[in-house]
Amino acid sequence: MSEQRVTVREAAAALGISEEAIRQRIRRNRLESEKDEEGRVWVWLDVKTMSEQDSTQALLEAKEETIAHLSEQLSFLRSELSVWQEEARRKDHLLAALTERIPAIEAPAAEPTDERESAVSDSEDEGKGDVPPDTERSSWWRRLFG
């Protein structure tokens, strides 16, 4: 068995996974590791067997993370969809209520006939339409203010 002591970064590159995934495996005791006096973490890898197993495991973990992320997005989009559907229903209701009122406020279709025409004919007088001076009324403000 050929074990090799590598840094977290080198182990991540060798296994094809992220540095955080390496740290998680160290915490779970799935990878053998040690710390030196300077606080640097070293990982012991059996490169031949570990790379194949961990690559498969890394793919499975990435797949699970992707599925979880997509499920989260799907639930968010479903909630957004229900909000939009409710808003569309509300707007449809308002639109229907307004269209029911339109016939009541529309202008009449036909123009009214002029019923004010008189059967009295014009006189031959020169003073057509003149009001005699004694029957003329002054406006209310002239009567009030003089």
- What is the tens place of the pLDDT at every residue in 59-74? 888 899 999 999 999 9
> What does the alpha-carbon distance between residue 81 and residue 86 come to, in Å, rounded to a whole number?
9
In 3-state terms, what secondary structure has residue 37? coil
pTM score: 0.34
Length of the chain: 146
Cβ neighbours around 14 below 10 Å, total = 18
pLDDT in tens, 1-22: 577 888 999 888 877 788 999 9
**What would you report as the CA-atom Rg of the chain, rounded to the nearest whole angstrom?**
47
Of 27, 22, 21, which is closest to residue 62 (Cα–Cα)?
Answer: 21
What are the structural domains, with CATH classification, of the chain? 3-105 (1.10.1660)
